[in-house]
A and B are shown apart, each in its own frame.
Chain A
Amino acid sequence: DIQMTQSPSSLSASVGDRVTITCRASQGISNHLAWFQQRPGKAPKSLILGASSLQSGVPSKFSGSGSGTDFTLTISSLQPEDFATYYCQQYNSYPLTFGGGTKVEIK
């Protein structure tokens, strides 16, 4: 199975900050990487597919990059609604696997 390692597991940031989350795959997955946002008590929401393609309706402050084994999710200017947990997932091969999550909290 492909292991997905996210870092950091949590971070504190202020409104307006630029935030970067990293995700590393245990083997190459091309660009078969998705990012999801989950607010407390809510279902996950899809943000990015194909490592860098924004889902329809997702604001452009979110961006993704990377290929192979190393990927990043960047939020350019953190807003109150962005405080949530973010997960990466590889869909290169089954079983699909998620990273452990990054909880973004208010400083």
Chain B
Amino acid sequence: EVQLVESGGGLVQPGGSLRLSCAPSGFTFSNHAMHWVRQAPGKGLEFVSAISSSDGSTYYANSVRGRFTISRDNSKNTLYLQMGSLRPEDMGVYYCAREAIGSAIDLWGQGALVTVSS
């Protein structure tokens, strides 16, 4: 089955760090660029970060640049999002998503909930 499964969400204090992981299955992970998209409670979708399939180019939303780092390990078939200096406004569900080759997102994970609170 083609799917993406996120893990690593949880409760973290403001200023803390958290690392999300995304495990793909059913397709060749190394062929696809990958994205993280988040959704604050009751709000819309927001692009967070993306990483290319080939040269490792990375892209970030202005709101997370310098605090978050996206990476991938094609040998372990895993996508990561290292989140630091977390703020209450970073709270929400974080979705891992696959980019269709040369196109847009065509597959979403079920999401990982991140709560930032003291």
Contacts and interface: CB of A to CB of B under 8 A. Distances in A.
Contact of A96 (B47, B62, B108, B110): B47
B11 interface: no
Contacts of A38: 45
Given A43-B95, A43-B111, A98 B47 contact: yes
Contact of B47 (A32, A43, A46, A95): A95
Interface string B22-37: 0000000000000101
Interface residues of A, number: 23
Interface string B47-60: 10010000000011
A45 B44 CA distance: 14
A25 to B, nearest CB: 14
A41 B60 CA distance: 26
| Chain B: number of interface residues, binned into ranges | 20 to 34
Contacts of B107: 46
Interface string B92-118: 000100001001111111110000000
A96 B47 CA distance: 6
B46 interface: yes
Contacts of A49: 100, 103-104, 106
Contacts of B106: 46, 49, 55
A101 B111 CA distance: 19
Nearest to A53: B103
B108 A45 contact: yes
Nearest to A34: B104
B103 A94 contact: no
Nearest to A94: B59
A43 B50 contact: no
A44 B104 contact: no
Given A38-B45, A43-B95, A97-B47, 7 more contacts: A43-B111, A46-B104, A46-B108, A49-B103, A55-B106, A89-B105, A94-B59
Interface of B: 35, 37, 44-47, 50, 59-62, 95, 100, 103-111
Q: Which 4 A-B pairs have the closest CB atoms?
A: A34-B104, A96-B47, A94-B59, A91-B104
